[in-house]
Amino acid sequence: MKRNWILVLLGFALFAGSFFLTAVKDVNAGAKDSGMIGYKCASLALRIPWGHEGQGLRHSSPVQYYSMLISGWINPAFLLTLVLVLVQPGWRASQILRVVVVLMFAACWVVFSQVHLHAQVGYYLWMVGIILALFAPRVGK
C-alpha cells in the first residue's frame, strides 16, 4: 500500500510540475520559439469558452468550442476525481470518473489539430501524472 501512495504523489508531482514546462508549440514555430507554458494553456482552455471569443467560436466551429470546453475542465475533473479515488476507491462513481478524465484527453488532441499545435514535454508529463495518480491506487489490487 505504501508503494501506491508514492506513485500517487509522484503522479501528482508530475501533474503539478508540468504547469511550469512547455506544453504546446505552434506547428510552424521555429526552433527558438519556446511555445506555451502549461499553466497558460490551462488558463486559456478554462477561460476562452466562457468569453466573447468562445461564444463566436461556438457558432463558427462547434467542435473546436466543445473540445476547448472539455479540455478546460480536465484539471478540475482530475482534482475532484483524485479526491474521490483516495477517499472512496471502491465507489463506482470514482471508478467511472477515473476513465472519463482519461477519455477527456481526446478533446485536447482535437484542439491541437484544429489550431495547429504540437504537444511538448509538459503536456506529456501532465498526461502521465494524471494517469499515474488516478490509477496508482489500483496497482496493489
Could you tell me the pLDDT band of residue 40, with boundaries at 50, 70 and 90? very high
Per-residue pLDDT tens over the stretch 58-89? 889 999 999 999 999 999 999 999 999 988 87
Alpha carbon distance 76, 4 (integer Å): 22
Do 130 and 122 form a contact (C-beta atoms < 8 A)? no
52 grid coordinates = 466573447
Per-residue pLDDT tens over the stretch 97-125? 999 999 999 999 999 999 999 999 999 99
Alpha carbon distance 37, 35 (integer Å): 7
Neighbours of 12 (CB within 10 A): 18
At residue 37, the 3 state secondary structure works out as: strand
For the chain, the domains span: 2-27+36-138
Q: For residue 38, is pLDDT > 90?
A: yes
Alpha carbon distance 22, 51 (integer Å): 25
Per-residue pLDDT tens over the stretch 51-62? 888 888 888 999
| pTM score above 0.85 | yes
pLDDT for 1: 57
Alpha carbon distance 113, 111 (integer Å): 5
